[in-house]
Amino acid sequence: MDPQNNKYTQNDCTSGILHIGVGNFHRAHQAFYTHLLLANESARNWAICGVGMLESDEVLFDKLRAQHLDYTLTICGRNGVNETVTISSIKELLLAFKQPELVLNRMADAAIKIITLTITEGGYNLDKSTNKFILDDPQIVHDIENPSDPKTVFGFVAEGLRQRRANGAGGITILSCDNLQHNGTTAKAAFMAFFEAQDKDLSTWAAANLTFPNSMVDRITPATTPEDVERLNKSSAFRDEAPVYCEDFIQWVIEDDFIAGRPDWETVGVQFTDDVSAFENMKLSLLNASHTLLSYPSFLLGYRKVDEAMADEDIVSFVREFMDIDITPNVPAPEGIDLEEYKQTLIERFANKAVSDQLSRLCYDGISKFPVYIMPNLAKMIANQQDLSRVAFLFANYRHYLKYQKDDKKVEFNYAEPWLNAADKEMIAGEDPLSFLGLSAFKSAPLINHNEFTTSYQKYVDSIQNDGTRIALKAILSKP
């Protein structure tokens, strides 16, 4: 592959970042930002050494190695115009289970200043109910008992840090790039719990020599199918066995807490801040909450993809009114962000056909999403005596989706709710719609005792069942 649009090659660069979890999102997000940075000759000490922890990583790594680690990224514009760039910011790829010594050597190298992570929410090994690190996991037990023969990301980082300390290579930053709230705080809790269990001296050293900034990441990056590979290659005229495609929106906000230095990512659009929580709140309250809001009524109307739903004027109006009337009064704009522009961009992103998501994925695990995306702002709305009709309509849709498992076109479906408990299932199956408001996901707000909410909710339960989702939805939109 000819990286014809690059101002650099891997040979021009040295690695300053070790990244664990080289998937599509990393290649469309962090590696893309770093690609832009490496065009600057003075920044070429910040290329990426990628590490794969899983045996399944070998397939991708073999494909990338066969093309000198270059790959194409197709950026799909909301206006229908696509741009393809060749990315060369990954200089090295190492498989931890095949090349453990090389991985540890790179972690201990003073040239590596940052370890970045995309290991998914489950990768942090925290108990979902207690948020405590799971010490009795068999692989964790192995790594605690065999420090020099690590198998997990925690064991590798711990042994790499021990060697780094012995080399006098100094501190390092561990930067989570996973799409979860307070990701740096989560990473710190997990790694420090492991260090404490395995090596108290290392734990003491890490407390003084590691930082864990929080960050917020955003870019829709679909999984790539074999059909996508052919389509992307035909469009780009490259023969790429590992192409990636994504939307044209991208955002990365990072708390500026790097103990060993960092790239000047701000020169290529990354935002640095003292506190990322305002950005997280904006994303959770507007992007994630709107996804949840549109998912259930859209599914009941018979849609299966987000872009199809966003071609429906009633759905667009419903989402926009939720953003403007219900959420905006409760979400302070982060510094440098125009909320009106952000909301309009969200509407355009949701409608982007080129990177459209499955509504079933947005509907998945609502019991975990409501407490994070919906309930905090609903509590504020109740306290502020705001109109609750749109949120009550969402609850009525969620109940109908779970209870009847049939859309308005009489198409049957199965829901996926892995965390429903027995009491939740009993309330869903019950004939009294008000009992549904006792679900564990809703316990942060006393909904069943709020007359305005329950009246509105009951009205929409009856309307959806008797008249269908469309008529119930139009009744909300016709409210003055």
Question: Which amino acid, one-letter code, is at 416?
Answer: A
**What's the pLDDT tens digit per position in 422-467?**
999 999 999 999 999 999 999 998 899 999 999 999 999 999 999 9
152 in the same domain as 297: no
Distance CA 340, CA 354 (A): 24
Q: Cα(346)–Cα(38) distance, rounded to whole angstroms?
A: 30
Instruction: Output the pLDDT for position 171.
Output: 98
- State how many domains the chain has: 2
| 4: in domain | no
Residue 269 CB partners (closer than 8 Å, separation 6+): 33, 36, 250, 252
pLDDT in tens, 269-290: 999 999 999 999 999 999 999 9
Q: Burial of 400 by CB count in 10 Å (0-12 exposed, 13-18 middle, 19+ buried)?
A: buried
Reported as type and span, the H/E element at residue 150 is: none
**Same domain flag for 380 and 295:** yes
Task: State mean pLDDT over 295-303.
Answer: 99
Q: What is the mean pLDDT of residues 370-397?
A: 97
Q: What is the CATH number of the domain that holds 39?
A: 3.40.50.720
Q: pTM (2 decimals)?
A: 0.92
Judgement on whether residues 436 and 398 belong to the same structural domain of the protein: yes
Helix H or strand E encompassing 210: strand 210-211
Residue 272 is predicted with a pLDDT of 98
Give the tens place of pLDDT for each residue, 49-106. 999 999 999 999 999 999 999 999 999 999 999 999 999 999 999 999 999 999 999 9
Q: Binning pLDDT at 50, 70 and 90, where does residue 384 land?
A: very high
CATH number of the domain within which 302 lies: 1.10.1040.10
The tokens describing 143, both together, are 């790594």
Q: How far is it, in rounded angstroms, from Cα 330 to Cα 309?
A: 26
CA-closest candidate to residue 71, choices 52, 48, 55: 48
Both 383 and 341 in one domain: the answer is: yes
Assess contact for 415 and 405: CB atoms under 8 A.
yes
Asked if 293 and 175 sit in the same domain, the reply is: no
Mean pLDDT for the stretch of residues 167-192: 97
Domain identity same for 154 and 243: yes
1 has pLDDT over 70: no
Closest among 209, 115, 117 to 167, alpha carbons compared: 209
Element (H, E) at 93: strand 90-95
Cβ–Cβ < 8 Å for 347, 293 = no
8 A C-beta contact, residue 63 and residue 242: yes
Question: Pick from 217, 237, 220: which is nearest to 33 by CA?
Answer: 217
**Residue 392 is assigned to a structural domain of this protein:** yes
Which of the listed residues 274, 301, 317 is the one where a domain comes to its end? Answer: 274
Domain presence at residue 105? yes
- The answer on 268 and 290 residing in a single domain is no
Same domain, 300 and 174: no
- pLDDT category, 129, cuts 50, 70, 90? confident
Distance from C-alpha of 289 to C-alpha of 312, rounded to nearest angstrom: 19
**What is the 8-class DSSP label of residue 440?**
G
Domain of residue 202, residue span: 10-274
User: What pLDDT sits at residue 383?
Assistant: 95
Compute how many other C-beta atoms are within 10 angstroms of the C-beta atom of residue 274: 8
Q: How confident is the model at residue 3 (pLDDT cuts 50, 70, 90)?
A: very low
- Residue 25, amino acid: F
Q: Which residue has the tokens 């409760």?
A: 330
The two three-digit tokens of residue 56, written as one number: 């399944």
Residues 220-240 have a mean pLDDT of 95
**Strand 210-211 versus strand 172-176 pairing type:** parallel
Positive/negative CA dihedral, 326, 382, 301, 368: positive
Model confidence at 228: pLDDT above 50: yes
Task: Please name which of 206, 199, 96, 95 lies closest in space to residue 147, comparing C-alpha atoms.
Answer: 199
Query: Taken in order 457, 459, 462, 468, is the CA torsion positive or negative?
Result: negative
> 155 in helix, strand or coil?
helix
Give a yes or no: residue 44 inside a domain. yes
